[in-house]
Structure 1
């Protein structure tokens, strides 16, 4: 009997390990979620490519992340399918990448997909390539079996696998043609060129604005914070009431419709419809971090309670769900137990329990939308009832990676919010210290890790860009010289690591991936770095940094002329350089005493710096143009300064 019991235990153990693959040795929650797939997954490394060459197999590269709904779908229906796994393993060396671990690799292959398919990609991103990394087929989600919109993996895998192994003349010619497309430099047509000015940038935003539902585009709606931020800048610079109205309209719609979690606070990643009603229920740290400063800015300008409430509620939601050891987790899933939105939506019966006239505002009787420009009077009572319903449910999976870039964005957001409540300054300082202690080792930043584990992946351009931005924001709150010194150190270190022969790269490894300019999910790291260089040049009155800013900006001007709507963070940097950043200088106590007045200056590109002056000075990098004991006089000079 004892022998039978031992045999049973051994069989169970063997069964549990039957499909273990090399991802079991990784730390990423996303990679670990695939460790028991029958697909023989490997991580991105030299070993995987050597194996493919040795066995004459093509590479199947799958990029995704842990809170991606369609990544879960593909894992469940295809990567867990034993029959499909046999075909995967027969013809391919399969590599799984967490795009949050390797955003530079994701950026590279999203660009490859764009060139091959002529439209933007997404996740999961599915690529078939040679062991020499020559892509010959690109897709996003691929169904297990044929659908009206796509061939299924059940036929596609063998077709692509045999095509590679056959390697006939037709395949070689097709491969060469695809590589020519992928490797082609972008050439802009002169007929598409637009002059760069405050007016042309303003008109570009107006043309792309959805004046029916608000926001940008006519399909799925994302926050597109870099466009909204630029729109707010231009409204101030040009006293443009139309752009200002668009800005507040978009902030209102995002805060009151389906993009915002009306019950617990915080923004979902996007809505699946143009009217901002039906969300995709992921919550990403970077979205919260980039939206908070915009709502702070709007609140200071208008005093509208809704904007302040959004800031307070969003930070409270993050503190409740996302924080450990003063650091912020990366994201939460849309799904609970494989059902999208299960935690967030409500049945008609649950909704009727609120007994309010606003019951009809639930999309399909499931998700709250408010179709007015403010919350109803009974909103708090309704929220408490729905919170009670949710309290009995399982919260979606939270990806507990600590991402340096995203935590830095959140630190900057908290410093921004400290003008509303000083407690956020303390919170920002704690997170800054915790992030520095964890991720700054041997004079280098690191990219990400799990709490309790030593970070191993060296920092990327985005980590340096957003960390520097957080330090500059922190300096402007308390004038701690150490913050500015650290920002300057990281800038010089980033310059040495990522800037080579006039080109910025996303990493300093052997991938040689050039930094792009398009603001995809958050600000382009290159554009953010350019803003940092301009700001530090202004704070230090440094011609050396100004020269670096100009050297970085000059090669990007064509992109700005031809793709204005895609590169708003670059446009902001261009305006900062061309119109000039003003640094307002005075004694620390003067600057702190009048912080709210300074925040309300109508020119968007103003920094503050502690000096030993009783007076107030307004200076660009090359000259001071206003000096007075009366702050209002100097503010008037700043607001009237127009250089375009």
Structure 2
């Protein structure tokens, strides 16, 4: 018999609707029941593409005996972290405080009906394993402790909640030009020289670090940094983390070589990485990088879009096995190559990293040995054959949830790509219109909804930040003033709802969690909002500078010490010091130069329509060049970067001094 989750929109919650556990969604009904029956709460947080969430469901939540223990002694609540990032953030902080290490999913929290947590874990095995107590024994122990010594548990829980409260005191420092040197030093320190990327296994793509590095390469000539970026971009695309067959990137690599991924594909990863590769293609004038950006976007358009809106994720598992859709038996591949007329099928298989022994649990993940092999006609033919083999398989489960922030990321990437290929520009426009139609009511944004249902969950800071960012990129790619007007409206609403004296809250509801400045799975919402306000400041009104400067001041101490952990905010701070560059002119004269924006040689560059006879090059506070040709503007930008800004590197900038 189904439990209450059958009535929820979230695919993740509905996956648990047939569990014998008497699950409740987050809400008053569950907490009132717990108070009435004097039971503690068991809170489980996860998401639909989470492999270990599926494992814990199979092992524990589908187990009748364990479900009976939960139902007798606890009120059990399921939360989709993608629907409720505010709840997830609050209890991830609880976990970190209790355990002294980062959390993850599934997140398991035991707490009172008043939401005072007293025990936390991530995945819990059904039997004693990995040095952990089995789930059944843990449930019995906690139930007994709660009955006999509740006050001790509550006291410790209150200490945790007090510890994670935001502190009023701000430790600030000067943000100056030294930030750039610190950024360069730290990128080089964390770079992994053998296979590219930053840090060891498990390896995440760190798109925002790459984006920051690309910006730095437009500000200064640094051959070592260029080598780091190129090596990382090319290593990530060899196969494994990057899907050579369908296109698109998996979540992360379990090994240092980018070979064996966690096979789930998230919309946000693919949006951020498509944009990075598109920008790298412009910065380095590299067609192979552009091809990866195209293949990634095309995967999203073909597999992950309906009605011009993008689904949240596709699963790592299919037919009960992780990676089953993605991997190949050696004999299966060689036979298919031979049938397709590939003259040396065994050689083609070897060139794609395939062997009888396999490179993943006896099977094979297609992989190139060198980035340049992307252009080998025989290998491309072989990859098409592998795609045909996949067409006969069961595709992993797709979470058909539409999230405003992640859709806005995709739209932003499409606008960037649209400066080079018009079909992406047209898709960006259609997707933005569809998102507006489904997920807004005036300046009110909703966070998520199934593709065929009405939204109910209110928008968070990340939804506003990414939406404004997409609108500004839309203006950059079209010079359509309507995008600027809408961006300003949403920016004002975001300030009203989420801004608090330099801090930004994730939400303005139950938890009112303060947003972190660090980039985790994707860039910090407050950092993206800071970038968005920098754009509005440059194009609309310098009054927004007070919100930008105060935000940077509040986070200055950690930013100047460890910018590598907060690359998006670091880029915003460097941009604030350096300033945006704006070319003003008549619309008909500016429009032909939109495709040149990404190759202009400066990362924060705009075209702005104005009643000018030629082209005027400006910062946010003054104009300093007036030319008749755009070629002369390009030379003026080059001078600005190489001469005037070079001199400013020698002297601290005093704009942020609090």
- Please give the range of the TM-score, normalised by the shorter of the 2 chains: over 0.9
1:484/1:100 Cα in 2 relative to 1: closer, same or farther (>3 Å)? same
Q: How far does residue 49 in structure 1 lie from its aligned partner after superposition?
A: 1.8
Equivalence for 1:236: 218
Measure the CA separation in 1 of the matches of 2:93 and 2:176.
Answer: 24
Contact 1:188 1:562 in 2 (8 A): no
- The correspondence for 2:237, drawn from 217, 230, 255, is 255
Q: In the alignment, does 2:367 pair up with 1:369?
A: yes
Equivalence for 2:340: none
Q: How far does residue 50 in structure 1 lie from its aligned partner after superposition?
A: 2.2
Q: How far does residue 303 in structure 1 lie from its aligned partner after superposition?
A: 3.2
Q: Secondary structure at the match of 1:470?
A: helix
Equivalence for 1:553: 552
Equivalence for 2:342: none
Q: Deviations over 1:219-258 (max 9, x none)?
A: 1111111111111111221221111111111111111131
Q: Comparing 595-604 with 93-102, which one deviates more in the overlay?
A: 595-604
Equivalence for 1:293: 275
- The correspondence for 1:46, drawn from 18, 28, 37, is 28
Equivalence for 1:11: none
Equivalence for 2:386: 386
Q: In the alignment, does 2:635 pair up with 1:636?
A: yes
Contact 1:343 1:396 in 2 (8 A): yes
Q: In the alignment, does 2:543 pair up with 1:544?
A: yes
Q: How far does residue 336 in structure 1 lie from its aligned partner after superposition?
A: 0.5
Q: Deviations over 1:537-562 (max 9, x none)?
A: 0011x221111211222111122123
Q: Secondary structure at the match of 2:209?
A: helix
Equivalence for 1:343: 325
Equivalence for 1:8: none
Contact 2:204 2:253 in 1 (8 A): yes
Return the structure number with greater relative CO, CA threshold 8 A, min gap 6.
Answer: 2
Measure the CA separation in 2 of the matches of 1:532 and 1:148.
Answer: 45
- The correspondence for 1:312, drawn from 268, 274, 294, is 294
Q: Secondary structure at the match of 1:131?
A: coil
Measure the CA separation in 2 of the matches of 1:539 and 1:391.
Answer: 48
Measure the CA separation in 2 of the matches of 1:474 and 1:539.
Answer: 13
1:105/1:432 Cα in 2 relative to 1: closer, same or farther (>3 Å)? same
Equivalence for 2:518: 518
Equivalence for 1:5: none
Contact 2:502 2:553 in 1 (8 A): no
Equivalence for 1:503: 503
Q: Secondary structure at the match of 2:31?
A: helix
- The correspondence for 2:86, drawn from 93, 104, 114, is 104
Measure the CA separation in 2 of the matches of 1:160 and 1:590.
Answer: 71
Q: How far does residue 196 in structure 1 lie from its aligned partner after superposition?
A: 4.7
Q: Secondary structure at the match of 2:35?
A: helix
Measure the CA separation in 2 of the matches of 1:80 and 1:168.
Answer: 29
Q: How far does residue 189 in structure 1 lie from its aligned partner after superposition?
A: 10
Measure the CA separation in 2 of the matches of 1:504 and 1:309.
Answer: 37
Contact 2:47 2:53 in 1 (8 A): yes
Measure the CA separation in 2 of the matches of 1:170 and 1:432.
Answer: 52
Q: How far does residue 186 in structure 1 lie from its aligned partner after superposition?
A: 11
Q: Secondary structure at the match of 2:195?
A: coil
Equivalence for 2:452: 452
Equivalence for 1:595: 594
1:186/1:167 Cα in 2 relative to 1: closer, same or farther (>3 Å)? farther
Measure the CA separation in 2 of the matches of 1:168 and 1:113.
Answer: 19
Equivalence for 2:347: 357
Map 1:401-480; keep pairs closer than 5 Å: 401-480=401-480
Measure the CA separation in 1 of the matches of 2:101 and 2:172.
Answer: 22
Contact 2:348 2:378 in 1 (8 A): no
Equivalence for 1:114: 96
Measure the CA separation in 1 of the matches of 2:152 and 2:283.
Answer: 63
Measure the CA separation in 2 of the matches of 1:531 and 1:64.
Answer: 30
Equivalence for 1:72: 54
Q: How far does residue 184 in structure 1 lie from its aligned partner after superposition?
A: 7.6
Q: How far does residue 614 in structure 1 lie from its aligned partner after superposition?
A: 3.0
Contact 1:257 1:371 in 2 (8 A): no
Contact 2:202 2:254 in 1 (8 A): yes
Measure the CA separation in 2 of the matches of 1:379 and 1:189.
Answer: 56
Q: Comparing 263-272 with 41-50, which one deviates more in the overlay?
A: 41-50
- The correspondence for 2:253, drawn from 264, 268, 271, is 271
Contact 1:56 1:165 in 2 (8 A): no
Measure the CA separation in 1 of the matches of 2:621 and 2:171.
Answer: 37
Equivalence for 1:280: 262
Measure the CA separation in 1 of the matches of 2:90 and 2:481.
Answer: 38
Q: Comparing 205-214 with 355-364, which one deviates more in the overlay?
A: 355-364
1:546/1:190 Cα in 2 relative to 1: closer, same or farther (>3 Å)? closer
Contact 2:474 2:483 in 1 (8 A): yes
Q: How far does residue 478 in structure 1 lie from its aligned partner after superposition?
A: 1.2
Contact 1:196 1:560 in 2 (8 A): no
Measure the CA separation in 1 of the matches of 2:626 and 2:266.
Answer: 44
Q: Secondary structure at the match of 1:447?
A: strand
Q: How far does residue 211 in structure 1 lie from its aligned partner after superposition?
A: 1.1
Equivalence for 1:25: 7
Q: In the alignment, does 2:597 pair up with 1:564?
A: no
Q: Secondary structure at the match of 1:585?
A: strand
Measure the CA separation in 1 of the matches of 2:590 and 2:236.
Answer: 33
Q: Deviations over 1:572-598 (max 9, x none)?
A: 110111111111222223222223333
Contact 2:192 2:199 in 1 (8 A): yes
Measure the CA separation in 2 of the matches of 1:195 and 1:53.
Answer: 56
Measure the CA separation in 1 of the matches of 2:521 and 2:542.
Answer: 32
Q: How far does residue 529 in structure 1 lie from its aligned partner after superposition?
A: 0.3
Q: How far does residue 169 in structure 1 lie from its aligned partner after superposition?
A: 5.7
Q: How far does residue 176 in structure 1 lie from its aligned partner after superposition?
A: 4.8
Equivalence for 2:579: 580
1:189/1:575 Cα in 2 relative to 1: closer, same or farther (>3 Å)? closer
Q: Deviations over 1:60-102 (max 9, x none)?
A: 1111111111111111110011100111112211110001101
Contact 1:195 1:561 in 2 (8 A): no
Unaligned runs of 5+ in 2: 338-344, 650-658
TM-score scaled to structure 1, two decimals? 0.93
Q: Secondary structure at the match of 2:607?
A: strand
Measure the CA separation in 1 of the matches of 2:166 and 2:474.
Answer: 42
Contact 1:194 1:200 in 2 (8 A): no
Contact 1:405 1:466 in 2 (8 A): yes
Q: How many residues align?
A: 624
1:177/1:405 Cα in 2 relative to 1: closer, same or farther (>3 Å)? closer
- The correspondence for 1:198, drawn from 176, 180, 199, is 180
Q: How far does residue 146 in structure 1 lie from its aligned partner after superposition?
A: 0.8
Measure the CA separation in 1 of the matches of 2:489 and 2:405.
Answer: 17
Q: How far does residue 105 in structure 1 lie from its aligned partner after superposition?
A: 1.7
Q: Deviations over 1:181-219 (max 9, x none)?
A: 44485999999x999521111101111111111101111
Q: Deviations over 1:270-324 (max 9, x none)?
A: 1111111101110111111111111111212333232122122112211221111
Measure the CA separation in 1 of the matches of 2:20 and 2:214.
Answer: 51
Q: How far does residue 41 in structure 1 lie from its aligned partner after superposition?
A: 0.8
Map 1:175-186; keep pairs closer than 5 Å: 175-183=157-165, 185=167
Q: Deviations over 1:97-117 (max 9, x none)?
A: 001101122122222222222
